[in-house]
Amino acid sequence: NETKLSNAGSSSDGTEDSDFSAEHEHADRTESFGRTRRNTRLTRASLRLSQSSQDLKQAANQDESPPRTPTGNAPSSESDIDVSSPNISLDESLAKELSLKDSVSDLSHRPKRRRFHDSYNFNMKCPTPGCNSLGEVFVVYIIEDLSSQTRASSRDKQVEERTLSHRQDENRHATRHQAPTERQMRYKEKVSEMRKKRNSGLLKEQKDKHMEHRQSHGNNREPLLENITSDYDLELFRKAQARASEDLEKLRLQGQVPEGSNMIKTIVFGRYELDTWYHSPYPEEYARLGRLYMCEFCLKYMKSQTILRRHMAKCVWKHPPGDEIYRKGNISVFEVDGKKNKIYCQNLCLLAKLFLDHKTLYYDVEPFLFYVMTEADNTGCHLVGYFSKEKNSFLNYNVSCILTMPQYMRQGYGKMLIDFSYLLSKVEEKVGSPERPLSDLGLISYRSYWKEVLLRYLNQFQGKEISIKEISQETAVNPVDIVSTLQSLQMLKYWKGKHLVLKRQDLIDDWKAKETKRGSSKTIDPTALKWTPPKGT
């Protein structure tokens, strides 16, 4: 049959044989070219495999034990042996490459092989239970590297910020260290020369002229400023004064400084001239003056010294209206009903608002009683301070508003007023407390008073058990105020489910020393009170 087939092929046409041979040669050339490319790729792969096998052999020679994979297992016969070398023939490399592919397909569940550094220890195992020893060293190294980079970047940022802040400070204060320019130096020399031209002192004629001006006009006009300072400084003062008045007038026209605002800067009250602290709603025609003149007995306010002088010549009041309910020495207290003496109480509220921030009552004075403390001398009873009190207080407030005049502050009169208000509460058999909110000075005065009351009570107390209710009943101080004062003094403790009051002897000794130094001149004597509670309270 084979002979027949060959004969049949040979008996075919010559042209067909030539065409077949040309196609066969083209296919052979194509196949040979593709085989050459595959051989080239296989040769490169074999070179890489041979290099890796040599590295593994070197690691095995360094260690007596057989080399292990990153999983800790012995190398397999198919994947970890020396599979190629540069001198191996092409057919052998093809066979080994095919065997490697088969082994990879069989061990697909294993992780891919990675190349390691020569110093890597293949016997290293992770001590963590359940770890397969894959990549732990590299992970830790990367994390440490990142953390160090983060710290380095944060340090760099801090250094940059610090440097930037120093530069800003240097730029901000650079003008302080700059040397003056030539123009500034010439101006400074010119000013010093102008100031040297002024006479060192006033002549006798000039002094007499200044004295006459001061006696005739007093504080109503600006004093004479000639020859007091240099012409240059006087001119600067005049310019600043004119500019300030212009700016104030502009603000007033724009409505930013409304008419009737706190333009009252000072008041003339008796022999004192007092600076005001806050705005008080006096009538507009009086508020724009800047200074008010008041009668210290009837509290009427006036526009000028002349009107006040005429009023004092005709005023018959020498003490507040109302009933005098307390007198000891030169200290007296008058009870004034807001309904009976309405004008006097309104003037008293307007006066108090100049020195109190939280006061809101000015004209509705009928529901209140006013207790005015005075100090008597040959000319009359001078106003020291006062406190007001509601006739019917739902919350048992014994003080609605309290004030000590500025010229009598820090002399013990504030505590006398507070003590007098609690004395009235004791007579009424009630527990009292001041109305909130208290002003800053009022809170300081009340805290000091409550502290003295508690220390005096503890000094006289001889028992072992004490009650807040008993202290409140004897002192007429609200229990809330007593507890807050004990806490501020660190005398109230909680121990084993009970509240304990600590008797601090050091505070009591300090209070005794202050009492002996102060004396008993600024205290309220309960026996000097002649008063019965009004009806309806």
Provide the CATH number for the domain around residue 257: 3.30.60.60
Q: How high is the pLDDT of residue 290?
A: 81
| Burial letters 38-75, b for 16+ CB under 10 A, else e | eeeebeebbeebbebbeebeebbeeeeeebbbbeeeee
Q: Does a structural domain hold residue 417?
A: yes
Q: Does a structural domain hold residue 367?
A: yes
**Is 90 exceeded by the pLDDT of residue 50?**
no
Residue-wise pLDDT for 221-262, tens only, equals 777 777 777 778 888 888 888 888 887 777 767 655 554 454
Q: How high is the pLDDT of residue 283?
A: 87
Q: How high is the pLDDT of residue 242?
A: 85
Pick the more confident residue, 473 or 111.
Answer: 473
Q: How high is the pLDDT of residue 85?
A: 44
Boundary of a domain, candidates 317, 336, 365: 317
**Is 80 exceeded by the pLDDT of residue 470?**
yes
The backbone torsions φ and ψ at residue 194, rounded to the nearest 5 degrees and listed phi first, read -65, -35
| Burial letters 96-130, b for 16+ CB under 10 A, else e | bbeebeebeeeeeeeeeeeeeeeeeebeeeeeeee
Residues 288 and 309 occupy one common structural domain = yes
Q: Which amino acid would we find at residue 524?
A: I
Q: Does a structural domain hold residue 232?
A: no
Residues 330 and 281 occupy one common structural domain = no
**Is 90 exceeded by the pLDDT of residue 337?**
yes
Residues 304 and 377 occupy one common structural domain = no
Residue 352 in 3-state DSSP?
helix
Boundary of a domain, candidates 317, 349, 369: 317
**Is 90 exceeded by the pLDDT of residue 312?**
yes
Q: How high is the pLDDT of residue 9?
A: 39
Residues 403 and 511 occupy one common structural domain = yes
**Is 90 exceeded by the pLDDT of residue 362?**
no
Q: How high is the pLDDT of residue 45?
A: 53
**Is 50 exceeded by the pLDDT of residue 12?**
no
Q: How high is the pLDDT of residue 146?
A: 42
Residues 264 and 341 occupy one common structural domain = no
Rounded Cα distance between 183 and 231, Å, is 21
Q: What is the DSSP letter of 134?
A: S
Residue-wise pLDDT for 521-530, tens only, equals 788 999 999 9
Least confident of 144-153, 284-293, 373-382, 476-485: 144-153
Reported as a pLDDT band with limits 50, 70 and 90, residue 307 is: very high
Tally of domains in the chain: 2
Least confident of 28-37, 137-146, 343-352: 137-146
Pick the more confident residue, 144 or 431.
Answer: 431
Residues 353 and 467 occupy one common structural domain = yes
Q: What is the DSSP letter of 175?
A: G
Portion of the chain with pLDDT greater than 90, in percent: 28
Mean pLDDT over the full length of the chain: 74
The gap from C-alpha 34 to its chain's centroid, in whole angstroms, comes to 82
The backbone torsions φ and ψ at residue 396, rounded to the nearest 5 degrees and listed phi first, read 60, 40
* Range(s) of the domain holding residue 409: 318-528
Residues 511 and 394 occupy one common structural domain = yes
Check whether the bond before 67 is cis (ω within 30° of 0): no
Residues annotated as catalytic are 435
Residue-wise pLDDT for 415-432, tens only, equals 999 999 999 999 998 998
Average pLDDT over residues 53-57: 57
Q: Does a structural domain hold residue 361?
A: yes
Residues 306 and 375 occupy one common structural domain = no
Q: Does a structural domain hold residue 441?
A: yes
**Is 70 exceeded by the pLDDT of residue 89?**
no
Residue-wise pLDDT for 160-182, tens only, equals 777 776 666 655 545 445 677 88
Reported as a pLDDT band with limits 50, 70 and 90, residue 195 is: confident
Q: How high is the pLDDT of residue 466?
A: 83
Rounded Cα distance between 425 and 453, Å, is 15
Rounded Cα distance between 352 and 346, Å, is 10
Residues 430 and 520 occupy one common structural domain = yes
- Sign of the four-CA dihedral 494, 495, 498, 500: negative
Average pLDDT over residues 266-270: 92
Rounded Cα distance between 94 and 40, Å, is 11
In sequence order, the β-bridge partners of residue 387 are 371, 402
Q: Does a structural domain hold residue 13?
A: no
Residues 287 and 422 occupy one common structural domain = no
Reported as a pLDDT band with limits 50, 70 and 90, residue 191 is: confident
Residues 260 and 356 occupy one common structural domain = no
Q: CB 274: neighbour CB atoms within 10 A?
A: 17
Least confident of 5-14, 162-171, 197-206: 5-14
Q: How high is the pLDDT of residue 218?
A: 67
**Is 70 exceeded by the pLDDT of residue 69?**
no
**Is 50 exceeded by the pLDDT of residue 20?**
no
The DSSP element (H or E) to which 171 belongs, if any, is: helix 136-172
Boundary of a domain, candidates 317, 345, 364: 317
CATH of the domain at 492: 3.40.630.30
Average pLDDT over residues 57-77: 46
**Is 50 exceeded by the pLDDT of residue 129?**
yes
376: left (phi over 0), alpha (psi -120 to 50) or beta: beta
**Is 70 exceeded by the pLDDT of residue 125?**
no
Q: Tokens 């505070």 label which residue?
A: 507
**Is 70 exceeded by the pLDDT of residue 93?**
no
Residue-wise pLDDT for 100-119, tens only, equals 555 544 554 555 555 545 55
Q: Does a structural domain hold residue 9?
A: no
Pick the more confident residue, 254 or 84.
Answer: 254
Q: How high is the pLDDT of residue 61?
A: 52
Least confident of 209-213, 372-376, 429-433: 209-213
Average pLDDT over residues 115-125: 54
Q: How high is the pLDDT of residue 318?
A: 92
Residues 288 and 333 occupy one common structural domain = no
Q: Does a structural domain hold residue 218?
A: no
The backbone torsions φ and ψ at residue 333, rounded to the nearest 5 degrees and listed phi first, read -130, 130
Give the global pTM: 0.53
CA torsion 181-186-189-190 (nearest 10°) is: -140
Helical spans, DSSP H, in 180-230: 182-196, 204-217
Least confident of 85-89, 260-264, 270-274, 467-471: 85-89
**Is 60 exceeded by the pLDDT of residue 18?**
no
